[in-house]
């Protein structure tokens, strides 16, 4: 009997605790964040002893060409420079006036006394509506993140992804990035602007006391 009495308060307490639980946000970047270079099958060729360029060496680059990413496992530094400004304002104003009149030139005698000798009827109506609304949003995100080439598309474009985690005391922050970049957009210093990355997914999350304070629950 005692167990049955405690059953309902315990259920209510569990339901209340679930209502206060924090629901983690859904991740924006989905997929592998790094990829080790896979050994490629190279047909056996005759070795050229003493030559500077060996075609069988993985990751070989031409002598007079900048070192740029081209294979799975190569790295490229993304310069994150995102800034968005959006504003919208709405103003609506409407109005309408209506009036109607009725004048009787001949009224029966028994109605004259009831109308107090006022035989005219006037009606009028007026409606007005005015509404205003405005919204604006400003976002700015700047930083640097080194990513890894996780795939190469048939047209030569590179699929890149990367993750950076920073833990300080009881809090931690991590930045995730993924997208598709044209190798020709990569500079000689092996960097590319985030504005030149297609299908860019940028995620910035934090865990700790500040995150718990900003979470409703």
118 and 81 part of one domain = no
Q: How far is CA 62 from CA 40, 109, 185, 187, in A?
A: 19, 115, 19, 16
213 and 152 part of one domain = yes
DSSP H/E element including 9:
helix 2-20
The answer to whether residue 154 is domain-embedded is yes
82 and 95 part of one domain = no
Q: How far is CA 135 from CA 86, 88, 93, in A?
A: 8, 5, 18
139-159 pLDDT, tens digit per residue, is 888 889 999 999 999 999 999
Beta strands (DSSP E) in the chain are 75-103, 120-152, 158-168, 171-181, 191-193, 198-207
The answer to whether residue 184 is domain-embedded is yes
Domain with 122 in it: 89-133
150 and 121 part of one domain = no
In the predicted structure, residue 192 carries a pLDDT above the cut 90: yes
Of 117, 133, 149, the residue that ends a domain is: 133
172 and 77 part of one domain = yes
101 and 196 part of one domain = no
The answer to whether residue 172 is domain-embedded is yes
- The region, left, alpha or beta by phi > 0 then psi within -120 to 50, assigned to residue 107 is beta
82-140 pLDDT, tens digit per residue, is 888 888 888 888 877 777 666 655 555 555 555 555 556 666 777 877 888 888 888 88
69 and 113 part of one domain = no
- Output the pTM of the full model: 0.57
Domains identified in the chain, total number: 2
Q: What is the DSSP letter of 75?
A: E
Highest mean pLDDT among 8-22, 61-75, 120-134, 160-174: 160-174
Instruction: Beginning with the edge strand found earlier in the chain, give each strand of the sheet holding 171-181 in spatial order.
Output: 191-193, 75-103, 120-152, 158-168, 171-181, 198-207
Closest CA to 178 of 155, 153, 156, 151: 151
98 and 187 part of one domain = no
The answer to whether residue 17 is domain-embedded is no
27-80 pLDDT, tens digit per residue, is 766 766 676 656 655 555 556 566 655 555 555 555 666 677 888 888 999 999
């Amino acid at each position: 009997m005692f167990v049955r009495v405690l059953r309902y308060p315990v259920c209510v307490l569990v339901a209340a605790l679930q209502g206060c639980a924090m629901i983690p946000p859904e991740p924006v970047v989905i997929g592998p964040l790094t990829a080790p270079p896979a050994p490629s099958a190279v047909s056996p060729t005759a070795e050229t002893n003493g030559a500077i360029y060996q075609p069988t060496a993985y990751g070989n680059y031409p002598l007079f060409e900048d070192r740029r990413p081209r294979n799975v496992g190569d790295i490229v530094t993304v310069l994150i420079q995102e800034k968005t400004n959006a504003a919208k304002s709405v103003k609506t104003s409407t109005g309408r006036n209506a009036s109607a009149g009725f004048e009787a030139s001949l009224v029966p005698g028994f109605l004259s006394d009831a109308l107090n000798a006022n035989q005219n009827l006037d009606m009028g109506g007026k409606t007005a509506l005015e509404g205003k609304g405005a919204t604006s949003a400003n976002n700015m995100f700047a930083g640097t993140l080194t990513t890894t080439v996780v795939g190469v598309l048939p047209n030569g474009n590179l699929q890149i992804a990367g993750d950076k985690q920073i833990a300080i005391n009881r809090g931690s922050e991590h930045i995730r990035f993924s997208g598709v970049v044209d190798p020709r957009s990569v500079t000689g210093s092996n960097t590319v602007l985030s504005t030149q990355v297609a299908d860019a997914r940028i995620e910035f999350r934090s865990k700790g006391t500040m995150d718990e304070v900003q979470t409703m629950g």
